[in-house]
Amino acid sequence: MANDDLRPSIGVLAEHFPGERRVALVPADVRRLGKSATITVERGAGAEAGFPDEAYIEAGATIAHRPSIVSSAGVVVGVRAPSDLASFHPGAVVVSLGGRDAGVARAVFARELKHLALERLPRTTRAQAMDVLSSQATIAGYAAVIEGARALDVLLPMLTTAAGVVKPARMIAVGAGVAGLQAIATARRLGAVAHGFDVREAAREQVESLGARFVSPGEALKAREAANGYAADQSADEQAALRRALAPTLAHMQLIVASAQIPGRPAPLLIDDETLAGLAPGTVIVDLAAESGGNTSRTEPGETVTIGGVKIVASVNLPSQMPADASRLFSGNIRALLEHLIPDETGLQLRPDDPIIAGLLGVDQTLRAAA
């Protein structure tokens, strides 16, 4: 092992964003990273997720207050982009979400920091183990079905009792990405009759592999898959036609999990007022795209609203409702990234020819202009 004085220093910050209960690194991963780096954890950083300071100390970390961490650590990790970037020492490497926030971009440029924004991770096989968006979408898809089940006035599974038979609820995931597929899998485990909708024909096999029925938009409305794995952009007319084609299917569903999102852009409108008017009273929509505008015309981020007897549940940051496992998965992604950045005792390596590093450091032109 290299001398501690020569090893990179990693600081783990506590989260101060309202409602954020996750932590970027858990003790198990701190122990693994401790072979190649010295790690300091902000006091109480893991408490909300069930990881006390004592567990970090046992894993080999030092506990300190925030000012000493941000003023000295070479690499600072967090879940959300820190709001106090102006206090960081110039040249520090910040690993967190926040790559599409213009305010974060301004602070990064002003302080000459290097921000490895996790949203910008290339979607390549090599980078899969570092993909926090996918790991957290898995948690969100599970949590969405649990939220929906609480709000429904019917049961998800079929029950046969002496008092009569309860039919299974009909559920659909609108958007068969990571979150949608996890929602389908969870709903199936709970006994619902599950469906999956996506404009990408490539999603059919994934939906059907989970035992759900794939709902196709029809040949004229299918969209190709872009290089980043998301559906390619559609025109306003195509989106309107898609809403009309989807409406009859949604009218027969009791639980709708909407998860269609476009990185760096407002979420597409998939359920408008006309579609809402055709849904049966008691239908529940869980809108996972609430933070980026929502997939429905009546989504209110952080709120549950009722329109004509239809509930629209727009919880934000669902992974934080299950902070222990959400943190473990997030931490596993961060550990994989840090092991890539610190491959051996030679220290931190930010090679510009590395496509992973180049992607994480890349700044969207809109944010560059805003900064």
Which residues are catalytic, by number?
123, 128, 131, 134, 230
The single-letter code of the amino acid at 53 is: D
365 CB burial (10 A radius; 0-12, 13-18, 19+): exposed
Contact by Cβ (8 Å): 129, 333: yes
Q: Which residues contact 239 (CB under 8 A, 6 or more apart)?
A: 268, 269, 270
DSSP character string of 256-269 = EEE---BTTBPPP-
Question: Nearest to residue 123, comparing CAs of 111, 109, 133?
Answer: 133
Cα(129)–Cα(180) distance, rounded to whole angstroms? 20
**What radius of gyration do the chain's Cα atoms show?**
22
- In 3D space, the residue among 124, 9, 130 whose CA is nearest the CA of residue 71 turns out to be 9
